[in-house]
Structure formats: C-alpha cells, structure tokens
Amino acid sequence: MELNVLNKTGKETGKKVILADDIFGIEPNDHVIYLDVKQHLANKRQGTHKAKERGEVSGSTRKIKRQKGTGTARAGSIKSPVLRGGGRVFGPRPRDYGFKLNKKVKQLARKSAFSYKASANNILVVEDFDLQAPKTKEFVDFKNNLKINDKKLLLVLSNENKNIYLSARNLKQLKVLTVSQLNTYDVLNSETMVLTESSIDRINQVFGINQEK
C-alpha cells in the first residue's frame, strides 16, 4: 500500500511511502483481536474491590439466643450473613484480572488492527516534526491542517517527544503513543491513525520486516 507523505501544513511533500503488506495487508483475525483487547482492558482493572465477610464486620461474638426451645432456627452470631449488618457471603476480594497471552498472538492482533485501518483508508503519513516548545495551539493547527479535527486521532511516534506529548495531552479525542506503546485497543479505538515517517521504519523493525524488502 502506497501513501503520500504530508507535512505539518497538510500539503503533499512529493514523497511516498510503502506500507508492508506483511503488516498492513494481512487477512485480519477477529479472534486474536478479541483476546488482545480483552487482556489490555483486564490489565487496566485495579481489582481493589473488597466486601467484609462475617469474620471482618464489627459486632459481638456472644450467642444471641439459646440453642433450643425458641421455636425458631438456631443462631450463634449477630455477624451471620442472614442477618442485617452481617458479613457478605462470597463477596468480592482483591484480585489480579491479568492473564497471559502469547507474543505471537499479540503481534498478529496488532497486524490485524493495522490491516483494518489500512483497508478503510484511515491511515495518514506525515513528515517527522518537532515543536520548539509545548503549545497546544500549534497542535490544534496541525489537526486542522490535516482536516481531522473532528475525528478521534492516534498519533504514532518512533520515540518519545516531550514537547509533542505536552502539546497534545489537553486535547480531547487525541492520543500520542510511541511504536513500543502501540496496542490493539488504541489502534481500533481511533478513527484516524497518523504515522510519522520514522515510526513506519520502527514498526517494520518491531514486526521483523527487513528494510530492504
């Protein structure tokens, strides 16, 4: 897949880049996408939920009535789950929701997400750029120049850039990630993915595509 390279003003530079079919042109696998997104969301869960059981609620430990002769069921503790104010039965406990996923499965999921974006023509390529200082207004102008101001945007950089990150962090529907931070969820959750020239080279390296190929 061949795309024109744009500059910060949204104009074509005359350069073109080729997106590798091994990464951006495969047959998407929906099941591995489901698994990768599920793991991503599970890893974000804090898992700090907790309910008190009968051994943790406050209350007297004395037997609340005699064992026999009352005509009702026996009862030994005011902290019993069947009584108001008692502990909860099988309540939630702190836990880790994360689970293991094979590296090749995650890699296939990311390639599938890239392929969906490429097939829908929702990928733009821009020249590598930098900002002299963190300025949100300059980044707003950048989005307007690319005519994607009203879309959910994912900007992919080859390496971390503090000025770009600080300029973009206050804007809604915009996320800046490096290639090493890319995940299936954020790729699919965006409407348009903007790649810098150097990030494409980095993607080829991460996914094992030879630059001479």
Q: What is the pTM of this model?
A: 0.81
CA nearest to 164, candidates 185, 134, 201: 134
Residues 80 and 103 in one domain: no
Residues 29 and 85 in one domain: no
Residues 147 and 87 in one domain: no
Strands of 48-206 (E only): list them.
123-126, 153-157, 174-178, 192-196
- Give dist(CA 35, CA 157) in Å, integer: 25
Determine contact, residues 96/48, Cβ cutoff 8 Å.
no
Residue type, 28: P
Average pLDDT over residues 179-192: 93
CA nearest to 177, candidates 191, 192, 187, 163: 187
3-state SS assignment for residue 194: strand
Residue 63 belongs to domain spanning: 51-91
Residues 144 and 200 in one domain: yes
Determine contact, residues 184/193, Cβ cutoff 8 Å.
no
Q: What pLDDT was estimated at residue 209?
A: 59
Total number of domains in the chain: 2
CA nearest to 155, candidates 135, 178, 132, 172: 178
Domain boundary among 38, 65, 91: 91
In a domain, 71, yes or no: yes
Residue type, 90: F
Residues 125 and 56 in one domain: no
Residues 106 and 199 in one domain: yes
In a domain, 67, yes or no: yes
Q: What pLDDT was estimated at residue 211?
A: 42
Q: Percent of the chain scored above 90 by pLDDT?
A: 64
Domain boundary among 91, 121, 149: 91
